Structure 1
Amino acid sequence: MAGALALTALGPQALAAPAAPPADGPAASGLQGQFARAAREFKVPQSVLMAVSYRQTRWEDHNGEPSTSGAYNVMGLTRVLPGDVERPTAQDRLAHLNLSGDPAVMKRFDARKAPAAEPSVDTGDPRLHTLDEAAKLIGEPVDTVRTDAGQSIRAGAALLARYQRAATGSLPADPGAWYPAVARYSQAPDAKGADAFAERVFDSVRSGESRVTADGRRLALPADPGVRPAGPTAKATRAAVAPTALTPECPAGLNCDYKPADPNNYNVANRPDNGYDIRQIVIHDTEGTYEGSINTFQDPKSSASTHYIVKDDGSLVTQVVATKDESYHAGNKTVNMHALGIEHVGFAMKTGSWYGEPLYDASATLVKYLADRFSIPLDREHIIGHDEVPGPLDGYVAGQHWDPGPFWDWNHYMSLLGADDCTGGRMPAAGQVVKVVPPFTPRTTTYYDPATKTRTTFDEPVNFGYLYAAPALDAAALSDPYLGEQVATEGPNWANKVVAGDRYVVADRQGDWTAIWYGGQKAWFQNPGGRYTSVVARSAAPVVLKAKGTAPVQVYGRSYPEDAAYAGTGVPVQGSNSASLTKYSIPAGQAYAAAGDPVAGDYYYGGTTLGTLVKGAQTFYPIRYNHRIAWVRTADVQVVTPETR
């Protein structure tokens, strides 16, 4: 779904390195000391207090700004007021519907019968006011607890102590005895979700954690492998989730249920057993509530669905479409055919600018399970955002979604998946394939709200770097022919942004600047000493593609079979079946990294009882064309050897 929560873009400091923390002194010990003092004050084991914070925010204070679901500061305490919640316009609602990406299906969508506005957020729910409750416990104003990391830690410690007393009547010194308080701190509405959070917290207690925060503070939680957490108590959680008739496809240890989408909102299929394989996983942001998303997917008039929804607190994963079936989530038929969609819940906070750690943890657990089951590579060509899905035809490119957006920490997420931790270190040479690895550090960013005609400025970590038409900060920002004139710093303007983990071919270098081939042009970004690129070794078998001749290569937004392939199948040749994206091309001499193996053009027709897969003789390479994936015909390109020097 669209990414109105991901409200950001980078300024000239786009690829600046994070500040190196000193070995000691206030920056290194201040926050660590505050954990120690709060632990003593409220008689909470410091390891438990630090582990709870780590599993909520990784010890980040986020400048006192809210998460996408109303959590604040290092302890992730919540505060959501009625005025905090975004109210989607009718146009916003329609943008989340009719996502089959198949014009033959999309033309049947009737906007007049589209689902009404989703249910409003119950801002009176106590789970959305843990900050208020905790502030009262320590006698501090809510704004102080919201903005001050030290007071957030004190408030979180006080709340944990209150939960522990309620559960056991005491404040034991044994960290393992604090399981019920930790489980309740999750605010999960059911026992299994609370247990999942508590287990992750005690994993951190036993194994230890250490990291440097975005503002340069070094913290360490020493390992304590001897801790044995107690089991959950009934007082710590609410009633368990009611069983469902369908069994969700989920890994052990993840709290899952199944609430089926309406059959009008997906295609029944039999992936991957009928030669109709699953290649990618697409990460989405709901931009709304969990309940509203379920309602949308169960409404037969929405023509939209997904495979899974991950709740914002990580307490529950709901499956709505079987993995064997083609859900309508990406707005692109080819991607829908060969991908799984995962939505991530946010309340659409007006100023939400980060995602909570419980959501990342639950999502990564699900993705690792799915990737292993369907042999999906754990890289950024196969684990992609909705913002990397192309428009299938000319008329759809400008309107393609941009979620999960710049606030999604791809570096961290891929590390949770166990993917290679690539860091830069040397300037790449022309012809080499590189993974772009900008740091996830704070930048001044903006978002313009056309409904209120106001522009909001943020100073939060983001996942991308700016691209320029020349190697200079005062050069023109890169543009896209489908988007027209854009403000460079706006989040929805994906034309001038290179996202963490994506692979490109180096076109040139000049001083501390590197150019990549991107969208038919040279795209320059600052790369001092090669810190923000990691050269992909030849042993990793990167495939580089160039035009075979002197004519520009056509670029496609989908990989359909040739017209002749439909003969005898009972499936009509699709409208604009062989149409390319006419404003895109690859000029002779440019080179692009393949985003997977060559694939046969195909189209799945769900209009018959068992469905019909039309597969052609024509094959395509998926490529990383610009911010988004695209396709080129294998007949039009040649594979060349990437440089290795």
Structure 2
Amino acid sequence: MRARRHLLVAAAVGLAGLATGQAYAAYQPKPVPVTRQQAFADAAKTEHVPLKLLLAVSYLESRWDANQGRPSVGAGYGPMHLTDGTLVPAREHFSGGTEDPRGDTSRPRRRPRARGVRPGHVAQTLQQAAKLTGASADDLRTDATANIRAGAALLAHYQRRLRRPLSSNPSAWYQATARYGGTSWFADQVVNVLRTGESRTTDDGQRVTLAATPGLKAVRTAANAAQTECPPDLGCEWIPAPYQQLDPKDQTKYGNHDEARRPLSQRIRYIVIHDTEGDYASSVKLAQDPTYLAWNYTVRSSDGHVAQHVKNKDIGWHAGNWYINSKSIGVEHEGFLAQGGTWYTEAMYRGSAELVRYLTREYGIPVDRAHILGHDNVPGGVPSDVAGMHQDPGPYWDWAHYFDLLGRPLHATGGANAGLVTIRPDYATNTVPYTGCDAKNPSAACPEHGGGDVLLHTAPSADAPLVKDVGAHPPNGDATMSVYDFSARASTGQTYAVAGRQGDWTAIWYLGRKAWFHDPASAPAAVGARGLVATPKPGAKSVPIYGRAYPEASAYPANIPVQDLTPMQYTFAAGQSYPVADVARGEYAYSKTFDVSTHVVVKGRSKYYEIQFGHRVYYVKAADVVLRRVS
């Protein structure tokens, strides 16, 4: 989302924002008396919980990270993700933004305003665990060892409440694990982690290992609601969004999505990844508001639970570009770009990845970063839209890990000197000095955290200015270091054409110019790739690029207004190259009234190529460019 720096509501404590609130403002690194691995072993022994089970539950919640005492997007703390129910965020998806989420310039621009947004409920497992162990709530927020012991005590408490023995067999704890995570799907994922094992170095340098236990079988009790379109055993819930006429005298006034006949009417080609900028409960209530807007799915942070709101045959209003909306499925994730803490739970990543794996198979969507887009990768449809486009899920979304879970790891497909590169920094060590996480002090540095974006400079030097984006920052284009400003950043998984190399620096073609990023051999920020690139046809000084691939004028029936093909404000000049990610014929989904019988998909003959032109994808006409293969 764009910078929506509103205060978060806090019951019992006055927080100005989860990223800087008093819940961890006083956090000071404490001496670690034991290793993280030993902390798990000690807690398991003290609370009579199987060590492997405790490790698996923690991995699914936090990947064993301490996160410097900062809360997750679900107000959870520490390796065991103990949730503080006194921190209840209340905001809404499009608050403070200028983007029209529907993104159809043939209709009046839509500025949704939520009615009576109230915070949802967050369980107070942190306070409950504090009572069980006698530790203070502050210690459980900031001391990883105390947090692990308290999480183990909470698991044992749930097992006792179920009148089950404190068995040494992890399989005997299934119901208690489901209670800890909130769903049986969570418990199934714990079994999956136990089966495969895991090993990693945490954010504070602790090496933790969980040995695999082959042969374990999940109970698989999670059942999807009948109306949902989900993979088996994900346990999706149906919370429908209303398709409703708002003014009985005016059929052009309706909400909060469009009924359609996809994929018969047009192919579904994209998945758009969002964050909610609010808590789960209030976000799903917004999707039920006929005067607001709706998307297809919402994923909860604490346990990866999925709710579906809009059938995939229909078109949600979520991406801010009607062409993308009409060809995409929107998936919201409970969270905040910056102010809700800077980590997302493993449970949410896994729930989302299981859903997206299913959707890509169901609709034939390519599993790459040109088709699984962040909301921040969606282009403005026309030049005036660019500055108002949203920025979620943000630089802290771990695209590399997400694609690992999708079963498509982001790896090199070309050599060290390939003509294309795929951005792939090491997330844990790639710390960019962003600002803007503190609503009260936007110029203050954000807490240090790994991320998936690299900065782009005008020359091969860290002292050189950032590249300019005249669309995002008219009229001069000057970029900033704000966590919300993507105008001079390339993101993990995105592929670009190489424009030059010099020492430890690599240049790519980006928004019509060379853009340099630090790419030393000792800590590479990209890997080689191969594929097709587009260049202007011989003799052309430059070619136009577009934010949508609409049909030629002659394709429109007489009763449907022709949509303008407005070139964007950028220059694609001779000598530049941009990777081609897809090919499409021009399409426009006309749906101006509530009466679905008037809805028509106009299909043209004009052919377009989708290209990675900047941080966002754009389109060029095939007739304007030539293609060549690079490796």
The whole-number CA distance in structure 1 between the counterparts of 2:205 and 2:413 is 19
- For the Cα contact (< 8 Å) 1:311–1:317, is it kept in 2? yes
Q: In the alignment, which residue of structure 1 is the partner of 2:227?
A: 247
The whole-number CA distance in structure 1 between the counterparts of 2:438 and 2:344 is 24
* 2:152 maps to which of 152, 157, 178: 157
Q: In the alignment, which residue of structure 1 is the partner of 2:138?
A: 143
Q: In the alignment, which residue of structure 1 is the partner of 2:252?
A: none
Q: In the alignment, which residue of structure 1 is the partner of 2:616?
A: 628
Q: In the alignment, which residue of structure 1 is the partner of 2:427?
A: 440
2:502 pairs with 1:510? yes
The whole-number CA distance in structure 2 between the counterparts of 1:60 and 1:356 is 10
Letter in 2 for 1:149: A
User: Structure 1 residues 296 and 455, CA, compared in 2 at 3 Å: closer, same or farther?
Assistant: same
* 1:262 maps to which of 221, 225, 242: 242
Letter in 1 for 2:488: N
Q: In the alignment, which residue of structure 2 is the partner of 1:105?
A: 107
Q: In the alignment, which residue of structure 1 is the partner of 2:488?
A: 496
The whole-number CA distance in structure 2 between the counterparts of 1:578 and 1:226 is 57
Deviations 1:256-306 (A, max 9, x none): 1222212222222111113x111110001111133322332232322x211
The whole-number CA distance in structure 2 between the counterparts of 1:267 and 1:86 is 27
- For the Cα contact (< 8 Å) 2:437–2:483, is it kept in 1? no
The whole-number CA distance in structure 2 between the counterparts of 1:336 and 1:472 is 39
- State the identity as a percent: 38
Structure 1 position 423, deviation (Å): 5.6
Structure 1 vs Structure 2 CA RMSD = 2.8
- For the Cα contact (< 8 Å) 2:80–2:147, is it kept in 1? yes
* 2:571 maps to which of 577, 582, 585: 585
Letter in 1 for 2:207: R
Structure 1 position 347, deviation (Å): 7.1
User: Structure 1 residues 64 and 640, CA, compared in 2 at 3 Å: closer, same or farther?
Assistant: same
Letter in 2 for 1:300: P
User: Structure 1 residues 449 and 32, CA, compared in 2 at 3 Å: closer, same or farther?
Assistant: closer
Unaligned runs of 5+ in 2: 7-16, 19-30, 244-254
Structure 1 position 410, deviation (Å): 0.4
Deviations 1:46-84 (A, max 9, x none): 0000000011111111111111111111111111425x6
TM-score (norm 1): 0.85
Letter in 2 for 1:142: A
How many residues are matched?
588
Structure 1 position 516, deviation (Å): 0.5
Structure 1 position 147, deviation (Å): 1.3
Deviations 1:133-164 (A, max 9, x none): 21232222222211121111111111111111
The whole-number CA distance in structure 1 between the counterparts of 2:422 and 2:434 is 26
Instruction: Give 1:460-539 correspondences, 5 Å limit.
Output: 460-484=449-473, 488-529=480-521, 531-537=524-530
Q: In the alignment, which residue of structure 1 is the partner of 2:120?
A: 121
Structure 1 position 564, deviation (Å): 1.5
- For the Cα contact (< 8 Å) 1:266–1:328, is it kept in 2? yes
- For the Cα contact (< 8 Å) 2:415–2:529, is it kept in 1? no
Q: In the alignment, which residue of structure 1 is the partner of 2:273?
A: 283
Q: Secondary structure at the match of 1:342?
A: strand
- For the Cα contact (< 8 Å) 1:278–1:339, is it kept in 2? yes
Deviates further, 343-352 or 61-70: 343-352
2:298 pairs with 1:306? no
Deviates further, 249-258 or 349-358: 349-358
The whole-number CA distance in structure 1 between the counterparts of 2:144 and 2:239 is 39
Instruction: Give 1:2-21 correspondences, 5 Å limit.
Output: 2=2
The whole-number CA distance in structure 1 between the counterparts of 2:215 and 2:555 is 63
2:589 pairs with 1:604? yes
Instruction: Give 1:133-532 correspondences, 5 Å limit.
Output: 133-186=128-181, 188=182, 194-227=183-216, 247-263=227-243, 264-274=255-265, 276-302=266-292, 304-346=293-335, 350-422=339-411, 427-429=416-418, 432-441=419-428, 443=431, 445-448=433-436, 452-456=440-444, 457-484=446-473, 488-529=480-521, 531-532=524-525
The whole-number CA distance in structure 2 between the counterparts of 1:226 and 1:609 is 54
2:74 pairs with 1:69? yes
Q: Secondary structure at the match of 1:528?
A: coil
Q: In the alignment, which residue of structure 2 is the partner of 1:235?
A: none
The whole-number CA distance in structure 1 between the counterparts of 2:374 and 2:210 is 32
- For the Cα contact (< 8 Å) 1:160–1:182, is it kept in 2? yes
User: Structure 1 residues 450 and 461, CA, compared in 2 at 3 Å: closer, same or farther?
Assistant: closer
- For the Cα contact (< 8 Å) 2:466–2:479, is it kept in 1? no
The whole-number CA distance in structure 2 between the counterparts of 1:563 and 1:183 is 56
User: Structure 1 residues 97 and 133, CA, compared in 2 at 3 Å: closer, same or farther?
Assistant: farther
- For the Cα contact (< 8 Å) 1:313–1:359, is it kept in 2? yes
User: Structure 1 residues 454 and 586, CA, compared in 2 at 3 Å: closer, same or farther?
Assistant: closer
The whole-number CA distance in structure 1 between the counterparts of 2:36 and 2:456 is 36
The whole-number CA distance in structure 1 between the counterparts of 2:33 and 2:458 is 40
- For the Cα contact (< 8 Å) 2:606–2:621, is it kept in 1? yes
User: Structure 1 residues 438 and 424, CA, compared in 2 at 3 Å: closer, same or farther?
Assistant: farther
User: Structure 1 residues 341 and 5, CA, compared in 2 at 3 Å: closer, same or farther?
Assistant: farther
Deviations 1:560-588 (A, max 9, x none): 111121144x21113xx11111x212110
The whole-number CA distance in structure 2 between the counterparts of 1:567 and 1:333 is 19
User: Structure 1 residues 511 and 551, CA, compared in 2 at 3 Å: closer, same or farther?
Assistant: same
Q: Secondary structure at the match of 1:602?
A: strand
Structure 1 position 2, deviation (Å): 4.8
Deviates further, 280-289 or 253-262: 253-262
Deviations 1:316-351 (A, max 9, x none): 311111111111110101101111111112378844
Q: Secondary structure at the match of 1:211?
A: strand
Q: In the alignment, which residue of structure 2 is the partner of 1:39?
A: 44
User: Structure 1 residues 273 and 69, CA, compared in 2 at 3 Å: closer, same or farther?
Assistant: same
The whole-number CA distance in structure 1 between the counterparts of 2:173 and 2:209 is 20
Structure 1 position 422, deviation (Å): 1.1
The whole-number CA distance in structure 1 between the counterparts of 2:163 and 2:5 is 40
User: Structure 1 residues 354 and 225, CA, compared in 2 at 3 Å: closer, same or farther?
Assistant: same
Deviations 1:214-248 (A, max 9, x none): 3433221112225567798xxxxxxx99x97x611
Structure 1 position 483, deviation (Å): 2.5
User: Structure 1 residues 469 and 487, CA, compared in 2 at 3 Å: closer, same or farther?
Assistant: closer
User: Structure 1 residues 130 and 573, CA, compared in 2 at 3 Å: closer, same or farther?
Assistant: same
Unaligned runs of 5+ in 1: 9-25, 189-193, 233-239
Q: In the alignment, which residue of structure 1 is the partner of 2:14?
A: none
Q: Secondary structure at the match of 2:487?
A: helix
Letter in 2 for 1:335: I
Structure 1 position 402, deviation (Å): 0.4
Letter in 1 for 2:129: A
Structure 1 position 470, deviation (Å): 0.4
Q: Secondary structure at the match of 2:597?
A: coil
Letter in 1 for 2:234: L
Higher helix share: 1
User: Structure 1 residues 380 and 183, CA, compared in 2 at 3 Å: closer, same or farther?
Assistant: same
Deviations 1:165-188 (A, max 9, x none): 1112531222211112211111x2
Letter in 1 for 2:80: M
The whole-number CA distance in structure 1 between the counterparts of 2:409 and 2:131 is 45
